[in-house]
Amino acid sequence: MAERDLNEMLKEMESKSRLHAEGGVDHLDDTQRVKVLSPGRLVFKRFIRNRLAIVGSCILIFMFVFCFIGPIFYPYEQTDKFYKTDILENADYAAAQKRTEYSIIKVDESVSVHYSVTNMMNYYINEMKKTGDDIMLVKSDSGEKYLVQYQADNVYTLNVSNLNRIGVHASELLICEFDMLTQTLTYSEGIVMDEAFGEMAKTAAMDNLDKFVYDGKTYAVENTGRKKYAVKYYADSGIQYIAENPGGGFEDAVLAAITEGEKTFEFGGSRYLLDQAAPGAYDIYKFAIGDILFVCSTYSVDILSGAAVPADFVKAALIGYCRGGAFSYNGIDYVISEEIENRDTVVNIYRLGETKNPYARFTTFSVSRHSGSGDLTIEFKEDVRRKIEEMIEQGKSVDTLITKVEKQASDGSVMVDEDGNVIYEDTKVTITRKGDNYTITCDRFRYLIDRYAPPFSEVSTDVHILGTDGDGFDIFARIMYGGRISLMVGFVVVIIETILGIIMGGISGYFGGWVDTLIMRLVEIFYCIPSLPIMIIIGAYLDAEQVNPYIRLIWLMAVLGFLGWASVARLVRGQILSLREQEFMLATEVEGLRVSRRIFRHLIPNVMPQLIVTATAGLGSVILLESTLSFLGLGVKHPLATWGTMINSVSDYNSMVNYTYIWIPVGLLICLTVIAFNFVGDGLRDAFDPKMKS
């Protein structure tokens, strides 16, 4: 071919024409003065003339500034919890209990006592209280005998019994029992009679006689019911001595004790004990008190300084009390003395040498803090105890008293003077009885989560413009942070949708053929996918996996974007199909431009206007969808705020009616944002379409 250079030829022409034009006057060219507007600038010009679109844009700009820049200047975070102090009327302060159950303290851990005795201790003590005895013989199921001894009020001991059986006194002796149904004759323990007696007893019972005579002695037969008969021998047989007879008049003393129902009696300077072995039969023991095995007491110990009482100290004090009133604990010696104080007998424990101020005191009351921790003063405990005893006397179940309770600062903390001592003040305290337990209540300051604070409420130094929600979070802060997520989700989802849609639609429209068919069928499948059930399944899966809320957010955006590209792809494909046949696309082919350049420089810019319009309109719907999903609990999770979750927090009727300040602002913001996006979308559509009348 003939090589020729167009450029050189043009240059030549230019120089020639310049020679011609030399000295010629440039004529005015009006077109040169017309301002040049690119298509984008034209669209912008038309857009800013649309009043609604400008309103929409202003709202959106406000939203973005509010949500993305606002939080920087707002003092609270979305998850800052706010607290308030409040006077809690009749807050539980302490609990008191009058101890009536005797607790058993083992003196020697190595000695074992049969459980039938230890379990029955409270019963034995109550029996002794009823009869007024100071001593009681108890037998275990395994046959051992023990003595329960009264030591002081509320203090009993279980002792080893050093019994000396002196004799048996019987006034009525059960010989045998006869059961007419089985024809059996059962002899009482220790009684042996011959067969003739048995026969006589049987016949007497059968003949319904009330007595018979055998071997010169008269025996009585008594019907004890149900065809059972008891054969008894009445005889004042006196005392059969096993040991040496203590002396004359002893029998009278025994009889006197039996007739008076006494279990113990004194004779000749010694104590004796009657034990009813069988009806009318008594074993007579001379006894001596043996070693103490258990101490049983309803006492606990209050240390007067208010310090906590170790269990070992109580044990040592009680054992010491039983052994004469002195004990030592942790190397310090203590003395116990009973004193009269306000007409009550109190048992005080002194440290040896300190006789003025008692160190501790026995008490049947346990008074403790309701919270379980912290100490109470002895004055408070004493006041409460006295009041409760008064209540018991008067049969009241509720009563009040004035006593000293720690003074509280308004934030709920305990007030302290300069020396670090707790300040007390007189407070009205209410005692309520519930069985053996007493609840002590008084008005206290409490530090609480500031839930559902109304707008502009001021608690201490925090001011909440829109109040707080059910978790004590500041609503205004949450609206801003929630808006961030809602707007971000909207944008990211739309960007994902658009990118996927451009790629898929672009491939489909530009290449056509089987690729187009494949992608369009895929688009149809995506149109058929029900997105809500899929979101519910994914939400459930993410719940089960306990995914971090931020990762959950990414998932949400990815899934929403992935489900939404189909409509964009369809739009892009349609546009590209029509653009592809336009002559300027043929021209690019003739010019030999690369495929990528043809797509990205010629096709995509021509699709962009429609894309921008649909994307803007889509933003609003994505924000709504995100709110819906969050409302259903599938989207972003607590404590991350989004507008949807905020409305969800007042989803029941009661809170919706009572806490309107939570959902109305959020609802308004959602409405405004969606409307604004629609305004802008409409404005862009009109601006891109020059045929529309303004």
The contact mask relative to other proteins for 19-58 (x = CB under 8 A, - = no) is ----------x-xx---xxxx-------------------
**Which of 7, 373, 394, 694 touches other proteins by CB under 8 A?**
7
Smallest distance, other proteins to C-beta of residue 592, A: 3
Given the complex with other proteins, which of 36 and 72 has the nearer CB atom? 36
- Residue number with CB closer to other proteins (2 or 657): 2
Q: Which of 10, 69, 534, 551 binds other proteins (CB under 8 A)?
A: 10
Q: Using CB under 8 A, which of the segments 7-15, 66-74, 399-407, 633-641 binds other proteins? A: 7-15
Closest approach of other proteins to the CB of residue 2, in Å: 8
| Lookup: tokens for 24 | 């010629």
Residue type at position 345: T
CA atoms within 13 A on the CB side of 525: 7
Pick from 340, 349, 289: nearest CA to 314: 349
For residues 258 and 585, which CB has a smaller minimum distance to other proteins in the complex?
585
- In whole angstroms, the minimum distance from the beta carbon of 496 to other proteins comes to 25
Q: What angle do CA 307, 312, 314 make, to 5 degrees?
A: 70
Q: What is the DSSP letter of 602?
A: I
DSSP letters along 261-304, please?
T-SEEEETTEEEEEEEEETTEEEEEEEEEEEEEEEEES-EEEET
Q: How far is the CB of 581 from other proteins (least distance, A)?
A: 9
Q: Measured from the CB atom, is 24 or 530 closer to other proteins?
A: 24
Residues numbered 569-628 forming contacts with other proteins, rule: CB under 8 A:
582-584, 586-594, 597, 601-602, 605-606
Nearer to other proteins, 37 or 61 (CB): 37
Residues 632, 637, 639, 640: is their CA dihedral positive or negative? negative
Q: Minimal CA–CA distance to 488: which of 681, 626, 669?
A: 626
H-run or E-run covering 464: strand 462-464
CB of 39 to other proteins, least distance (A): 6
Cβ atoms of residues 69 and 344 within 8 Å: no
Q: Which is nearer to other proteins, 1 or 72 (CB)?
A: 1
**Beta carbon of residue 595, minimum distance to other proteins (angstroms, whole number):** 10
Q: How many CA atoms lie within 13 A of 449 on its CB side?
A: 12
Question: Is the CB of 33 or the CB of 130 nearer to other proteins?
Answer: 33
Q: Which is nearer to other proteins, 35 or 226 (CB)?
A: 35
In angstroms, the CA 149 to CA 289 distance is 9
Shortest CB 517 distance to other proteins, Å? 10
Residue closer to other proteins by CB (options 36, 528) is 36
Cα–Cα separations (whole angstroms), residue 585 to 589, 598, 610 = 6, 8, 19
Q: Does 11 bind other proteins (CB under 8 A)?
A: yes
Pair 344, 397: CB distance under 8 Å: no
State how far the Cα of 585 lies from the Cα of 427, in Å rounded to an integer. Answer: 93
With CB under 8 A, what is the number of residues at the site for other proteins? 35
CA 52 to the chain's CA centroid: 53
* Cβ contacts of 637 within 8 Å, gap of 6 or more: 549, 552, 645
Report, in Å, the least distance between residue 638 CB and other proteins.
Answer: 47
**Least distance to other proteins from the beta carbon of 452, Å?**
56
Tell me if residue 562 falls in helix, strand or coil.
helix
* Contact yes or no for 468/450 (Cβ under 8 A): yes
For residue 603, the minimal CB distance to other proteins (Å) is 9
Q: Which two tokens mark 272?
A: 């004796």
Q: Which of residues 1 and 28 has its CB atom nearest to other proteins in the complex?
A: 1
Joined together, the tokens standing for residue 631 give: 């409302």
Q: How far is CA 68 from the centre of its chain?
A: 37
Residue 308 makes contact with other proteins by CB under 8 A: no
- Where does this chain bind other proteins (CB under 8 A)? 1-2, 4-7, 9-11, 13-14, 29, 31-32, 36-39, 582-584, 586-594, 597, 601-602, 605-606
